Amino acid sequence: MFRQWMFLGCLMVTGMAFCQSVNYDESKVPAYTLPDPLVCEDGSRVETVADWTRRRAEIFRQFQEQMYGFLPEMLEKAGNHPDFVTFEVVEDCPDALSGTALRKQVVLTFTNPQKPGQKVTANLLLYIPKHAKKPVPVFLGYNFMGNHTITPEPEILAFHDRAGNVLTEETLAQKEGTSARGGRVNRWDVAQILENGYALATMHYVDVAKDQRNQCFTSGIFDLYSDYEGETSREKTDWGAITAWAWGLSRALDYLETEKLVDAKKVAVMGHSRLGKTALWAGASDPRFAVVISNNSGCGGAALSRREFGETILIMSGGLRYWFCPKFREFGERVGDFAIDQHELMALMAPRPVYVASAEEDRWADPKGEYLSCLHAVPVYQIFGIEKPFGDQTTPELPSLNQSVGNVIGYHIRTGIHDVTPFDWTQFIQFADRFLK
């Protein structure tokens, strides 16, 4: 019954043409060989950190070419703090959340000198613990439904709903459930984050680029920095939505580097599901992120592609292909031809701390595949002289439920469904404490 249900889910998500029956049977996972992150394209072996620097560049390029796509040249060349992205603090409230926090709202305005008059704006919401004595570490992550869903505070600016429609006070007042003010308080344990001395910085991903295949490439920052007529006018290795969203996270980090109340050298980038895939790619693309956290990111995120358990590259290259570069689709039926697999995405963080969270019932995201990515990233961390990067985890067996394991690479699998829970936040905070406090 469950399998059938997932199969239908797959039809809904991806469209008939790209569907395959979903495997939830461990014994049917095909035999596979993972690419060795420590063997360079010329066959030489990585022995030193200097060798790894060279090899890392190769792997990063392979991910750009085959999975997430290259940024437009203009963005690549501009690097961090591009002068065509500006910040305006539009609210600075000294007394938020019943006096426990400072609240700031910062509008990021994206422009393009070659397209005068055109702009994209995104709202970064910041909660900072009120009585901090020094600049605090930060959790930075995108939210799915809008900043106004994180807490019920009526002052939070709402730019777009999930579908990308511009919100007004009138249209927002009609929203119910997860898209209403405070509709997602369950996913953002702001109290726990603040009590533990962290700031929370969050932004609605739809402000940056729409999450719809037929609209994404002709709106948001795609429209600003590219000239696509739609998804199909992209070149094979051009950017997909995950790269666009990841670039947006780096611009939020640019702002944090100017914010005196936080320590921008101590930013943990975190994301759930597709936004977990985005957090991982942001962490790989921007070494300024000190800690990288993936929650239930699954296929195209933390899970190994070659296992073909739950969601697969073939399924994803149906209706969700716009998250990736066009070339990505070519690997749907020959996943073994990818130069990379997702353990190498983890390895791109080395030696920085990376944490992966799975959920037992989230089989679509392949918890075991998420765990194995962590395990197979270990040899790269060892190049940095870290003796037990994944703590006592040396075998493919999943650890016990509801228990955080590892070291610089951290992992847990909790009971329950695809979600972000206070338990997850407790683990992220305890993990971050070890490196950011």
The least CB distance from residue 274 to ligand GCU, in Å, is 3
Binding letters toward ligand GCU, positions 14-53, x by CB under 6 A? ----------------------------------------
Q: Is 210 in the site for ligand GCU (CB under 6 A)?
A: no
If you search the block for the tokens 């070291």, which residue do you land on?
A: 407
- Select 274 or 343, whichever has its Cβ closest to ligand GCU: 274
The least CB distance from residue 344 to ligand GCU, in Å, is 19
What's the rounded Cα separation, in Å, for the pair 3 and 416? 17
The least CB distance from residue 275 to ligand GCU, in Å, is 7
Q: Which of 299, 345, 349, 413 binds ligand GCU (CB under 6 A)?
A: 299
Residue type, 363: R
- Select 18 or 198, whichever has its Cβ closest to ligand GCU: 18
Residue type, 142: Y
Q: Report how many residues bind ligand GCU under the rule CB under 6 A.
A: 8
Contact criterion met (CB below 8 Å) for 274 and 267: no
Instruction: Give the strand pairing for 354-359 and 199-204.
Output: unpaired
Q: Is 373 tagged catalytic?
A: no
Q: Is 13 in the site for ligand GCU (CB under 6 A)?
A: yes
- Select 299 or 378, whichever has its Cβ closest to ligand GCU: 299
- Select 241 or 349, whichever has its Cβ closest to ligand GCU: 241
Residues in CB range of 52: below 8 A, 6 or more apart: 38, 46, 350, 380, 383, 384
Contact criterion met (CB below 8 Å) for 356 and 346: yes
Catalytic choice (179, 226, 250, 273): 273
What's the rounded Cα separation, in Å, for the pair 360 and 415? 5
Q: What angle do CA 117, 123, 128 make, to 5 degrees?
A: 145
What's the rounded Cα separation, in Å, for the pair 21 and 303? 18
For residue 362, CA distances in Å to 275, 298, 310, 430 come to: 16, 9, 9, 23
The least CB distance from residue 364 to ligand GCU, in Å, is 6
- Select 313 or 378, whichever has its Cβ closest to ligand GCU: 313
Q: How many residues appear in the chain?
A: 437
CA 235 to chain centre: 24
- Select 104 or 277, whichever has its Cβ closest to ligand GCU: 277
Q: Is 226 tagged catalytic?
A: no
Q: Which of 207, 231, 286, 311 binds ligand GCU (CB under 6 A)?
A: 311
Region 313-352 residues binding ligand GCU, contact defined as CB under 6 A? 320
Q: Is 298 in the site for ligand GCU (CB under 6 A)?
A: yes
Q: Is 11 in the site for ligand GCU (CB under 6 A)?
A: no
Q: Is 367 in the site for ligand GCU (CB under 6 A)?
A: no
Contact criterion met (CB below 8 Å) for 345 and 246: no
**Closest Cα to residue 79, out of 345, 325, 291, 285?**
285
Phi and psi torsions of 202, nearest 5°: -140, 155
Q: Which of 55, 274, 343, 368 binds ligand GCU (CB under 6 A)?
A: 274
Q: For the sheet containing 199-204, what is the strand order?
A: 85-96, 101-111, 119-129, 199-204, 136-143, 262-272, 291-295, 354-359, 409-414, 405-406
- Select 103 or 306, whichever has its Cβ closest to ligand GCU: 306
Binding letters toward ligand GCU, positions 156-185, x by CB under 6 A? ------------------------------
The least CB distance from residue 414 to ligand GCU, in Å, is 17
If you write DSSP's letter for every residue of 313-332 in order, what string do you get? Answer: HHHHTTTTGGGS-GGGGGGT
If you search the block for the tokens 């066009």, which residue do you land on?
A: 326
Q: Is 187 in the site for ligand GCU (CB under 6 A)?
A: no
Q: Is 375 in the site for ligand GCU (CB under 6 A)?
A: no
The least CB distance from residue 298 to ligand GCU, in Å, is 5
Separate counts of helices (H) and strands (E) for the chain? 13, 10
Q: Is 273 in the site for ligand GCU (CB under 6 A)?
A: yes
- Select 129 or 276, whichever has its Cβ closest to ligand GCU: 276
If you write DSSP's letter for every residue of 16-38 in order, what string do you get? Answer: GGG--PPP--GGGSPP-----TT
Residues designated catalytic: 273, 418
Give contact residues for ligand GCU (rule: CB under 6 A).
13, 273-274, 298-299, 311, 320, 364
